[in-house]
Structure 1
Amino acid sequence: MEQKYLFTAICAALKAGEKILSIYNDPTSDFEIERKADNSPLTIADRKAHEVIATILDETPFPVLSEEGKHLDYSIRREWNTLWIVDPLDGTKEFIKRNGEFTVNIALVRDGVPIAGVIYLPVKQDLYFASDSVGAYKLAGITRPEEGATIESWIEKASRLPRKEKHAFPVVVASRSHLSPETEEYIELLRQKHGGVQLVSSGSSIKICLVAEGKADVYPRFAPTMEWDTAAGHAIARAAGMEIYQTSEKRPLRYNKENLLNPWFIVEKKGITLI
Structure 2
Amino acid sequence: MIQEKELQLLASAAATAAVRAGYLIMEVYNSDDFQVNLKSDATPLTLADRKAHEEIKNLLGKTRIPVLSEEGRDIIFDERRGWEYFWMVDPLDGTKEFIKRNGEFTVNIALIYKQFPIMGIVYVPVSGELYFGQNTHGAYKKEGVTPSLTASFTFEELLNGSMVLPCSETPPVYTVVGSRSHMSKETEQFMGKLKEQHGEISFLSRGSSLKMCMVAEGKADVYPRLATTSEWDTAAGQAVAEAAGCEVVDFDSRERIMYNKVVLQNPWFVVQKKTK
Q: In the TM superposition, what whole-angstrom CA distance separates every residue of 1:110-134 from its partner, at most 9, and x where no partner exists?
A: 0011000000000011000111122
Contact 1:3 1:134 in 2 (8 A): no
Amino acid at match of 1:137: Y
Q: How many residues align?
A: 270
Query: Aligned Cα RMSD in Å?
Result: 1.3
Q: In the TM superposition, what whole-angstrom CA distance separates every residue of 1:96-122 from its partner, at most 9, and x where no partner exists?
A: 000000000000000011000000000
- Cα distance in structure 1, aligned partners of 2:130 and 2:164: 12
Q: In the TM superposition, what whole-angstrom CA distance separates every residue of 1:233-269 from its partner, at most 9, and x where no partner exists?
A: 0000110001110011111100011110100000001
Cα distance change on mapping 1:219 and 1:147 into 2, 3 Å: closer
Cα distance change on mapping 1:175 and 1:36 into 2, 3 Å: same
What's 1:11 paired with? 16
Cα distance change on mapping 1:23 and 1:249 into 2, 3 Å: same
What's 2:78 paired with? 75
SS in 2 for 1:153: helix
- Cα distance in structure 2, aligned partners of 1:166 and 1:180: 26
- Cα distance in structure 2, aligned partners of 1:80 and 1:2: 17
What's 1:151 paired with? 155
What's 1:257 paired with? 261
What's 1:163 paired with? 167
- What aligned pairs does 1:103-122 form with structure 2 within 5 A after superposition? 103-122=106-125
Contact 2:16 2:152 in 1 (8 A): no
SS in 2 for 1:157: coil
What's 1:137 paired with? 140
Amino acid at match of 2:69: S
Contact 2:36 2:44 in 1 (8 A): yes
Consecutive unaligned residues in structure 1, runs of 5 or more = none
Q: Which one of the candidate residues 4, 25, 41 is aligned to 1:20?
A: 25
> How far has the Cα of 1:167 moved from its partner?
2.2
Cα distance change on mapping 1:181 and 1:140 into 2, 3 Å: same
> How far has the Cα of 1:148 moved from its partner?
7.2
What's 2:191 paired with? 187
SS in 1 for 2:266: coil
Consecutive unaligned residues in structure 2, runs of 5 or more = 1-5
What's 2:44 paired with? 41
> How far has the Cα of 1:164 moved from its partner?
4.3
- Cα distance in structure 2, aligned partners of 1:140 and 1:132: 21
- Cα distance in structure 1, aligned partners of 2:168 and 2:229: 29
What's 2:3 paired with? none
> How far has the Cα of 1:155 moved from its partner?
1.0
Contact 1:82 1:111 in 2 (8 A): yes
Match status 1:200 vs 2:204: yes
SS in 1 for 2:236: helix
TM-score by length of 1: 0.95
TM-score by length of 2: 0.95
> How far has the Cα of 1:271 moved from its partner?
2.5
Contact 1:88 1:104 in 2 (8 A): yes
What's 1:245 paired with? 249
> How far has the Cα of 1:70 moved from its partner?
3.9
